[in-house]
């Protein structure tokens, strides 16, 4: 997804400034962030962390409500950036191969991404509408590591079950296609979250459908925002939310039992302490020779920064275990090695 949003990126700052022109505290905070960045860009993690945690003096200034509004608007902008990045023909042959390979090999995937790009690619390998299938497959009803019912269950009495998929897609920070049922409150119980996405045809008691009046009725039964952990430095939701406890436990077990682990396109940032604890503790039995890092870097300073980050968790990892040609070339190499055409 070449247009996927980055940590510091264009998050429509001009529109945000106009929206909050009359709310002085929110606008001031936006202006401070824009001064710290450049070219009208916003560090989404830094600003969301400031808004989510707030400061003790925000209450005396009367800024708390304004910051809550700004945080909600920023989440919506962030989600739109993710959805816009998916426009176009993104399901290319390399992605299709990768999804099919993971299903055939029963290879679990642990990701911090919010988008449903890989979810769709996994489902489209066999497009399992009438599950279970007699062959390895992936399905959103059970493929996330918890029983995630389709959103149509909000308006129709459908028969669904927890699919036993060949592999799990553990999304540690939630997903843009995980939606809380209308009226449910945090922390959400497992039954409160359903999956809703344009690529999966809903199955109601009148057969398959997508779009039209039924789609609008479904939307009216969902909360206005999907279930994601915003990119903030202090992620209290990871412990508070039962669904995330379940997903992180699935990820821990997958890592603990792994023979090899491939980190693809992940920088292992020092600010993500929860991720560092997960990898340090779940992979303690794994030899450093079984850890592989696939990243995209051309300049030596960038390569060295990646090596330093990973060696802070895996001290003995050697230079030959780093591949700086990027995920796309790595997938093509795996495809060639497996004689795929």
Structure confidence at residue 86 (pLDDT): 83
- C-alpha 152/C-alpha 220 separation (Å) is 11
Structure confidence at residue 139 (pLDDT): 94
- C-alpha 125/C-alpha 334 separation (Å) is 18
The tokens describing 28, both together, are 């001031």
β-bridge partners, 180: 193
State how far the alpha carbon of 58 is from the alpha carbons of 64, 107, 171, 230, 288, in Å: 6, 47, 33, 20, 46
The three-state (H, E, C) secondary structure of 57-112, written as one string? HHHHHCCHHHHHHHHHHHHHHHHHHHHHHCCCCCCCHHHHHHHHHHHHCCCCEEEC
Structure confidence at residue 206 (pLDDT): 46
**Which parts of the chain sit beneath pLDDT 70?**
130-131, 202-213, 232-235, 340-341
What is this structure's pTM? 0.87
Give the 3-state secondary structure of residue 322.
strand
Q: Are 167 and 145 in contact (CB under 8 A)?
A: no
- C-alpha 131/C-alpha 228 separation (Å) is 27
Angle (CA) 205 206 210, round 5°: 105
67-86 CB burial, b ≥16 within 10 A, e <16: beebbebbbebbbebbeebb
β-bridge partners, 169: 109
Nearest to 306 by CA among 279, 268, 260: 268
How many other CB atoms are found less than 10 A from the CB of residue 4? Answer: 15
Q: Are 241 and 187 in contact (CB under 8 A)?
A: yes
- C-alpha 210/C-alpha 179 separation (Å) is 17
């Amino acid at each position: 997804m070449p247009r996927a949003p980055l940590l510091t990126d264009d998050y429509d700052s001009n529109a945000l400034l106009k929206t909050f022109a009359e709310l002085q505290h929110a606008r001031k905070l936006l202006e401070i962030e824009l001064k710290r960045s450049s070219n009208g860009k916003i560090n989404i993690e830094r600003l969301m962390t400031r808004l989510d945690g707030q400061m003790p003096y925000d209450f005396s200034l009367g800024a708390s409500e304004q910051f809550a509004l700004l945080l909600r608007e920023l989440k919506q902008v962030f989600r739109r950036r993710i959805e816009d990045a998916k426009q176009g023909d993104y399901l290319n042959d390399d992605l299709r191969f990768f999804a099919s390979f993971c299903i055939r090999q029963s290879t679990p995937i642990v990701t911090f991404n919010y988008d449903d790009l890989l979810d769709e690619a996994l489902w489209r390998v066999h497009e399992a509408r009438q599950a279970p299938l007699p062959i390895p497959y992936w399905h959103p009803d059970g493929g996330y590591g918890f029983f995630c019912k389709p959103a149509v269950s909000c308006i129709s009495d459908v028969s669904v079950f927890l699919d036993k998929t060949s592999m799990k897609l553990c999304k540690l920070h939630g997903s843009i296609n995980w939606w809380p049922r209308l009226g449910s409150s945090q922390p959400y119980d497992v039954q409160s979250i359903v999956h809703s996405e344009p690529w999966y045809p809903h199955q109601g008691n009148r057969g398959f459908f997508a779009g039209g009046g039924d789609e609008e009725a479904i939307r009216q039964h969902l909360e206005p925002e999907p279930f994601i952990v915003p990119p903030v430095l202090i992620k209290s939701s990871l412990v508070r939310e039962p669904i995330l406890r379940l997903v992180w436990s699935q990820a821990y077990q997958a890592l603990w039992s792994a023979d090899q682990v491939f980190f693809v396109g992940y920088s292992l940032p020092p600010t993500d302490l929860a991720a560092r604890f997960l990898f340090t503790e779940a992979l303690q039995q794994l030899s450093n020779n079984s850890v592989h890092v696939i990243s995209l870097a051309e300049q030596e300073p960038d390569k060295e920064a990646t090596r330093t980050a990973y060696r802070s968790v895996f001290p003995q990892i050697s230079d030959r275990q780093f591949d700086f040609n990027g995920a796309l070339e790595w997938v093509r190499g795996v495809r060639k090695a497996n004689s795929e055409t």
